[in-house]
Chain A
Amino acid sequence: MHDQISAAIDAATRNALLSELAGIVPAAALLTADEDLKPYECDGLTAYRQVPLAVVLAADESQVVAVLRACHRHGVPVVARGAGTGLSGGATPVGNGVVLSLAKFMRILEIDPLARTARVQPGVRNIAISEAAAPHGLYYAPDPSSQIACTIGGNVAENSGGVHCLKYGLTVHNVLKLRVALIDGDIVEIGSAALDSAGYDLLAVMIGSEGMLGVVLEATLKLTPKPQVAQVVMASFDDVIKAGNAVADIIAAGIIPAGLEMMDKPATAAVEDFVHAGYDLTAAAILLAESDGTPEEVAEEIAAMCAVLEKSGARDLRVSQSEAERLKFWAGRKAAFPAVGRITPDYLCMDGTIPRKHLAHVLTRIAELGEEFGLRCANVFHAGDGNLHPLIMFDANVPGEIDRATGFGARILELSVDVGGTITGEHGVGIEKVQQMCVQFSREELEAFHALKAAFDPRGLLNPGKAVPTPRHCSEYRLIGSAKGATT
C-alpha cells in the first residue's frame, strides 16, 4: 500500500478558505466536522481512506464556479464527487483538500425525442435517464452494473461501460456535449448538439479524464431507440478456454451480440446463491449472449449464435423465453460484485483488458497467482471486448491480507500489459493503479499526459496525485519492483 495523498496547506490558508466557502454555500452545505466528513472518506475502493478538509454540496453553477475560484486562489486541491461508486479511488479525497459534491445536480433538463437527446445535470443517476426517455421508446445505452446509483458525471469522468457496450459503445460514444467548469472558474462548452465540432476533439479528452481536467456541469447525451425485442442465450461450458474460444467464434461468424458476458465457476456460485438466476453451478464457465432488434432479426441471430455455441462445445444452451427470464439471467451478471461481496469480508475488483486470444494464458496465470498469494479469486468477464474483472477476495482484518491482495492485483494488471492489453478498461486508474501506469507508459508518454493536463489545469489542483504518476514516483516504483523481482 502506498501513502494517502495530502496537500501541504498552512493553517492560515485553511481558515481563510473555509470562511470564504461559508460565504458561498449555506451552512448546511459545507461539511467540516469529522463525523460529517466520514461518509466521504472513500469511494467504492474502500481500502483507501482519507478525510478531506471540507465537503461542499454545491447546488448551482454559480456556487461551483465560486468554490473553484476560491480553491484556485488559495492553491487548495479539489476532488469532484458523484455517487462515490468508483472502484479505483478517483473520488477519494485529498488530505487538506476540498471535496466538491455534485449530488444536488439532479435535474433532467430536457428530453428531446425528435433529436434523440437528453440534457442532464451531472448528479443525475445513469438509470434515471433511461427511465425518463422510456415513454418515447428511447434509452441511454451505456449501462454500468452500478447504474441504479452512479451519476452521469462519474460516468463521463471514467468513460464507463456496461454489458451492452460491445454493440452500443462506451460513454465516449454516447455523449454529444459537455458544459465544464475549469479550475479557474472559466466555463467551456465542449462538443455540440451536432455530431462534431470545430477544432480538436476535446470531448474525447474530457471523457475518461477522471475529474482531472474540469468539473462537468451539464451533459447532452445521445439516446438510442429501444429495440423491439431482446433475447439472451445462456451457454454452459465445462472448460473456461472453450468458452473463450466460443466468443471468438461468434464474432468470426459476423455477429456482434448486444451483450456477450462470461463468468467462471466461483463467480456463478456466488451469484446463484444471491439472486437465484438459475445458473448452471456445475459448469466451469457460463456465457451470456444477447441479441436485440426486430423479432425476425432476433430469431435469426439467436439461431445463428446457438449453432456456433454448440459447435464450439457448449454443454448446455438455454434461451430466455420471456422478458422476465431474460432479466433474471442478466440480474445475476449485474449483481456479480455485490454477490461476491457477500461471501468475503473484502474484495478488490481488477479491470484489465486483454486481447482475447490470450485469455487461456491469463486465466491460468491468475489461478497460479491465486495459489501463490493464498487468496481466492472469481472472474467476471466482459468477454466480447476483452475486459476482465478478477475479484480478489480477502479479509482486511487479517494482518497482511490487504497487502497480499494489492500485490496479487498488481501482478494481474502487469500481466494484462504483458499480453498487449491495458491495466484498466472502464474503472479508471485513480489511486489504485497509479503505479502500474509506470509499467504501461514510458516517461515521455507520462510527460505528455502531464502537459495535456496543464492545458486545462496548469497548477494541478483538480484531483492531484490520481491517474498519472510523476516520473519520480515511477523511478521509485521501478526500483522497488526490480528489488522484489530479485528476491522472489
Chain B
Amino acid sequence: MSDLTEQFADRIRAASGPLCIRGSGSKDFYGNAPRGEVLEAGGHRGIVGYEPTELVITARCGTPLAEIKSALAERRQMLAFEPPSFGDAATIGGVVAAGLSGPRRATAGSVRDFVLGVKLLDGEGRLLTFGGQVMKNVAGYDVSRLIAGSLGTLGLISEVSIKVLPLPMAEATLRFELPQDKALDLMNRWAGQPLPVSATCWADDSLTLRLSGAGTAVESASSALGGERVADAAAAHFWTSLREQRHAFFAADGDAAALWRLSVPSIAGALDLPGATLVEWGGAQRWIRGGSSDAPRAAALRVGGHATLFRGGDKSAGVFQPLDPVTQRIHRDLKRSFDPRGILNAGRMYPDL
C-alpha cells in the first residue's frame, strides 16, 4: 500500500497532452469517450482512517468500493447514497468522480451530500486539501462537493473523506400493481408524509417500495401502506440488481442501445416518449430505453430537468445536457483555474472542459 501521490503529481506535471484518469475502468462507458494517456489511479489504495463514532471514513482513491462497504458493514454502517459499482473492481475515487448515487438517493442524499473532504492533485500537479473529516465545515469555498461528479476534469482525487450512517435496524419491501401515473402520484404523496420510505422503483406496471428504519416504524408503515410483501432475499436481490443495472429492464437490448437517464422534478407526469420507462427516486429519476433521437433531452428540458445519454447510443451530439451561455462560461473559467493546461480528463464531460 504505497503512497503514489508523488508519482501521480510527477505524471501530471510532465504530461504534454491529455491524461485519462482511471480507477478500475468500471465507468469507462460513462460520459464522453475517455481520451489521452491513461493514468492508472487504482494502485493508490487503502483505508486511511475510519472512525465509526465520528461517522467518517477516509480512503485513498484506488480503494475498492467493496473493501469500503465491507469495512463499514462490520460496524453496521453504510454509504447511505448507495453507489452503484458497475463491476467488482470499482474504486472510491471513481465513485466520487462519477457522482452516481443509487436507490436511496431521493431520501438519503447523493454522493456530494456525503463528501466531507478531498485531497486533490490539480492540473499542475499541486496537492490541495479541501474540507476535512468533520461534518460541519464552512472554511473556504466547498470545493470537495464541487469535485463530486466533476468526472476528474478538475483534478485527480487522491483521497476522500465521506460521512457514513448506521445501517437501518429493519427493512421491508412492498410491491403494488399500478400504472405509471398512479405510481407517480402515490410516490409523491407518500414522500410528503413522515414514512420511512428509502427507495422506490416503478417498471412494467409494478411499483416496488422499500422501507428502512426502526423496526416498529417499518412495521407500522408497511401495514398502513398495504401491497404485497416481498421476501427479504428476493428484495435484497431486487434492489442490488436495480442499483447495478442488471435488472431485466436494463439488460433487454444490450449495451449498444441507447439508455437515457432523465433527472426531472418528481411531480412531472409520465413523459410521452417512445421506449420503455423505469422510474426511481420517487419520480425524480427516469430511465428511458431505446429511441435514437434527442427526444429525451427535449422532454426533460420541458419539465425543468435534464437528460444524460447514460449508455450506448450515438454520443456524437454530446452525452450531457448543453449548458446555458453564462453557466458555460463559469464552467470554462473553473476548469481553467484548476487545470490551466486542460489536460485532465479533457472532453469527458463537455468538449471544451
Taking beta carbons and an 8 Å cutoff, which residues of A are in contact with B?
A: 112-116, 136-138, 158-159, 161, 165-166, 169-170, 172-173, 182, 186-190, 192-202, 204-205, 207-209, 213, 225-228, 248-249, 251-252, 254-256, 293-294, 296-297, 299-301, 353-357, 382, 385-387, 420-429, 433, 437, 440-442, 444-445, 448-449, 451-456, 467-468
Q: Indicate whether A201 sits within 8 Å of B216 (C-beta atoms), given known contacts A254-B167, A355-B54, A386-B136.
A: no
Q: Indicate whether A256 sits within 8 Å of B136 (C-beta atoms), given known contacts A293-B217, A296-B217, A386-B54.
A: no
Which of B15-23, B124-132, B241-249, B250-258 contacts its partner? B124-132
The answer to whether B138 touches A420 (Cβ under 8 A) is no
The answer to whether A428 touches B138 (Cβ under 8 A) is yes
Q: Which B residues from 21 to 70 make CB contacts under 8 A with A?
A: 51-55
Given A195-B110, A248-B54, 13 more contacts at CB 8 Å?
A113-B192, A116-B191, A116-B192, A194-B265, A194-B305, A195-B285, A204-B112, A205-B145, A254-B166, A356-B53, A386-B135, A422-B132, A451-B338
> What chain A residues lie within 8 Å of B285 (beta carbons)?
195
> Any chain A CB within 8 A of the CB of B350?
yes
> Any chain A CB within 8 A of the CB of B137?
yes
Q: Indicate whether A198 sits within 8 Å of B140 (C-beta atoms), given known contacts A251-B55, A255-B166, A454-B337.
A: no
> What chain B residues lie within 8 Å of A433 (beta carbons)?
139
Q: Indicate whether A437 sits within 8 Å of B140 (C-beta atoms), given known contacts A192-B306, A353-B134, A455-B334.
A: yes
> What chain B residues lie within 8 Å of A429 (beta carbons)?
138-140
> Any chain A CB within 8 A of the CB of B264?
yes
Cβ-closest chain B residue relative to A416: B134
Cβ-closest chain A residue relative to B134: A353
Cβ-closest chain B residue relative to A112: B267
> What chain B residues lie within 8 Å of A186 (beta carbons)?
326
The answer to whether B145 touches A424 (Cβ under 8 A) is no
Which of B146-154, B171-179, B271-279 contacts its partner? B146-154
> What chain B residues lie within 8 Å of A301 (beta carbons)?
214
Cβ contact of B220, chosen from A115, A294, A451, cutoff 8 A = A294
> What chain A residues lie within 8 Å of B150 (beta carbons)?
200-201
Cβ-closest chain A residue relative to B319: A198
Taking beta carbons and an 8 Å cutoff, which residues of B are in contact with A?
A: 51-55, 76, 99, 105-106, 109-110, 112-113, 122, 126, 128-130, 132-143, 145-146, 148-150, 154, 165-167, 169, 188-189, 191-196, 213-217, 219-221, 263-267, 281, 284-285, 304-306, 308, 320-324, 326-327, 330-331, 333-334, 337-338, 349-350
A299 CA to B322 CA, complexed, in Å: 50
The answer to whether B284 touches A194 (Cβ under 8 A) is yes
The answer to whether A452 touches B337 (Cβ under 8 A) is yes
The answer to whether B112 touches A225 (Cβ under 8 A) is no
Closest 9 CB pairs of A and B: A451-B337, A204-B145, A296-B216, A455-B333, A425-B136, A297-B217, A254-B166, A248-B53, A198-B321
The answer to whether A425 touches B137 (Cβ under 8 A) is yes
The answer to whether A195 touches B284 (Cβ under 8 A) is yes
The answer to whether B320 touches A293 (Cβ under 8 A) is no
> What chain A residues lie within 8 Å of B142 (beta carbons)?
159, 172, 204-205, 207-208
Cβ contact of B194, chosen from A293, A382, A426, A444, cutoff 8 A = A293
> What chain B residues lie within 8 Å of A209 (beta carbons)?
141
The answer to whether B140 touches A467 (Cβ under 8 A) is yes
